[in-house]
Amino acid sequence: MDDIYSIRKAEIKDASGIAKVHTETWQSHYRGKIPDEFLDGLSVEKRAEGWEKNLSDPKTKTAVFVAESDNEIVGFCCVGPSREGEVADVVGELYAIYVESSKQGQGIGSALVQAGLEYLKNEGFKKATLWVLKTNTLSICFYESKGWKADGKEKREEKDGFVFEEIQYVVDL
């Protein structure tokens, strides 16, 4: 039987729960896609500091939503203006979405994406974009099932001695 979950806007007190999901999902989902040394070096505590800073920043067009089940954060998404500055007034971006492996397939990711996209639409954005690792076929299938389309943009980002190769997806709001 599927667990009951709720979606809500994140608060500063959620930083450690978000960081736990963020770190653990990276370590499980990206194993074999990026170096183990990088993944093994990820720290929940360091990520919590980053999320505390993010959640206490008064940016008006950035939002983080969390999924809770049994009073624990089991997923989150973060949205805001596109990081491609020239389109930031009309294009939003899904910066991140992660759901604990044990909670996937229950509609949590879909509900988080929906909350994020509704927020962007209400903020006046007309489209949303996201970047996904080229090798992350599971996520690509998820996004495509939700109507996202690859727009042909690609980027290579060097990080700690390895390269992220990502493709951009877009959806109308």
**What confidence category does residue 25 fall into, taking pLDDT thresholds of 50, 70 and 90?**
very high
What pLDDT sits at residue 93? 97
H/E run at residue 106: none
DSSP string, 52-77: HHHHH---TT-EEEEEEETTEEEEEE
**What confidence category does residue 162 fall into, taking pLDDT thresholds of 50, 70 and 90?**
confident
What's the mean per-residue pLDDT of the chain? 92
Between the alpha carbon of residue 98 and those of residues 86, 88, 103, the distances in Å are: 27, 23, 10
What pLDDT sits at residue 24? 95
Query: Per-residue pLDDT for 117 more than 90?
Result: yes
Angle at 80 between CA 76 and CA 85, to 5 degrees: 145
| Sequence letter at residue 145 | S
Average pLDDT over residues 92-102: 95
Query: Per-residue pLDDT for 141 more than 80?
Result: yes
What pLDDT sits at residue 1? 42
What pLDDT sits at residue 164? 87
- Paired with 139 in beta bridges are none
Query: Per-residue pLDDT for 87 more than 80?
Result: no
What pLDDT sits at residue 59? 65
Q: Is 42 in a helix, a strand, or coil? A: coil
What pLDDT sits at residue 57? 82
75 and 21 Cβ atoms separated by less than 8 Å? yes
What pLDDT sits at residue 159? 82
Percent of the chain at pLDDT > 70 equals: 97
160 and 38 Cβ atoms separated by less than 8 Å? yes
Positions of E strands within the chain? 6-9, 63-69, 72-81, 91-99, 127-133, 149-159, 162-172
Average pLDDT over residues 10-22: 96
**What confidence category does residue 60 fall into, taking pLDDT thresholds of 50, 70 and 90?**
low
What domains are defined for the chain?
Answer: 6-172 (3.40.630.30)
What pLDDT sits at residue 33? 87
What pLDDT sits at residue 97? 97
Alpha-carbon distance 51 to 156, whole Å? 25
